[in-house]
Amino acid sequence: MAGSAAFRVSTIPREQRRTLIAAGLGWMLDAFDVMLYALVLAHIMRDLGMSKGTAGLLNTLTLLASGIGGVFFGFIADRIGRKRALMATILTYSVFSFACGFSTSIFMLACFRFVLGLGMGGEWNTGAALVAETWPGEQRAKALSIVQSSWALGYALAALVAGIVLQFASWRTVFFIGVLPALIIFWILKSVPESEMWEQQRSAALTATTAGSAKMHAPEDSFFHLFSRSYARYTIALLLVNFFGLFAWWGLFTWIPPYLSLPVSQGGRGFGVMSTTALLLFLNLAGMFPGYLTFGWIADRLGRRNGFILYTLIAALLVPLYAMARSEWALLFLGALVAFFGTGFFSGSGIIGSEIFPTRLRARALGFTYNGARTLSAVAPFVIGRVGQVKGLGWAFYLCSGSFLLATLVATQLPETRGKQLE
């Protein structure tokens, strides 16, 4: 009970609350803008004449860009600060979500989605680093889980907005609404503090440079230090866990909205717009959101590594059942369970990554192991789309189950960092 009491809002300093809110809003609105594409995909495919393979390829380009953006903004965050990098990522994905509404060709849409992906990739690691460095160790896992859970709220909000707007307007209007998240950067600029840990590290680095000892510190600050003897095994293990998990996630959740709404003759389930919207809202609010949120508590009880193993293994077992489901009630219940376990474990990436890597490398390490994995997993929407074109999306989802199982196996190689204090 003491741990729960310590996490009451009234006991949390105002600065910590604001960093948590900023990172959470950034990630929620990231999900809102990014997932709009999947929610209007069936309409875009019809209007622009796209096949499933081409539609998947566009999302693949977005994920490739997210990997580049994650590494790029990771370097930016380590250089100019977490707060300013966070604002830059939000502005990027908001403006180019708006631009998607002007697309008159597949090529235009692909270009806009690519630049949007840069901001999408950068937001996660800058926000996670900001929260990890401003919250104490006994609350860090829960705080990062709260941030991660905001993705489900953003996805649910996108489903609600798309479901309503599509009743009265075209998919272009849905994208135009995607510019609204840019407004929160004004609040972040005015009210959110920079990470004191980053500022202290930056001050120490400048002092060392002034004293003429920059050469001594340069190797430690290098990106390639992630592959030194101290970190290489864990860098690769976390990268691969994220890769297999993200391959499964993007393969599933890019194609679940069209899977539910496409006609049965095209391999879908034939549900109407409002039925699909209701299913997606339930999947997010009863599945993803509590899955993300509870991982922090599970990680504090069972350990970070065991949390990864538990969630990914159960997801691997549930996905085939979801693919075989036919009734709306079965899809509702199993979809929520798949979303709970198949997305909840991502909360652990920011937790364990923040605890493995030191402050001078943290943002770029998180950027590489998470967004680098997103780059590698970028083939998932295309692969699942192509396999779904030939064998049906239900059959293609079995590949996602296998990917979750591989994530389980690799997670056994992660270190246990529960209780570690950041320097």
The domain ranges of the chain are: 14-203+230-411
Looking at residue 138, its pLDDT comes to 72
Radius of gyration of the chain (CA): 21
The alpha helices in 40-136, defined as continuous H runs, are 41-48, 52-80, 82-100, 106-134
What per-residue string of b and e applies to 392-402 under the rule 16 or more CB within 10 Å gives b?
ebbebbebbbe
Looking at residue 4, its pLDDT comes to 42
Q: Does the domain spanning 14-203+230-411 belong to CATH 1.10.287.990?
A: no
pLDDT along the chain (423 residues), means of 10: 47 83 89 86 88 83 84 83 90 94 94 92 82 79 83 87 89 92 89 84 71 48 72 89 93 82 65 77 87 86 91 96 85 90 86 80 79 83 84 86 96 84 65
Looking at residue 263, its pLDDT comes to 63
Cα separation values, 213 from 54, 197, 218, 221, 253, Å: 53, 21, 9, 13, 49
pTM, whole model, 2 decimals? 0.72
Could you tell me the two tokens for 41?
């995909």
Looking at residue 89, its pLDDT comes to 92
Looking at residue 352, its pLDDT comes to 85
Contact 197, 70 (CB under 8 A): no
Looking at residue 212, its pLDDT comes to 54
Contact 292, 28 (CB under 8 A): no
Looking at residue 218, its pLDDT comes to 45
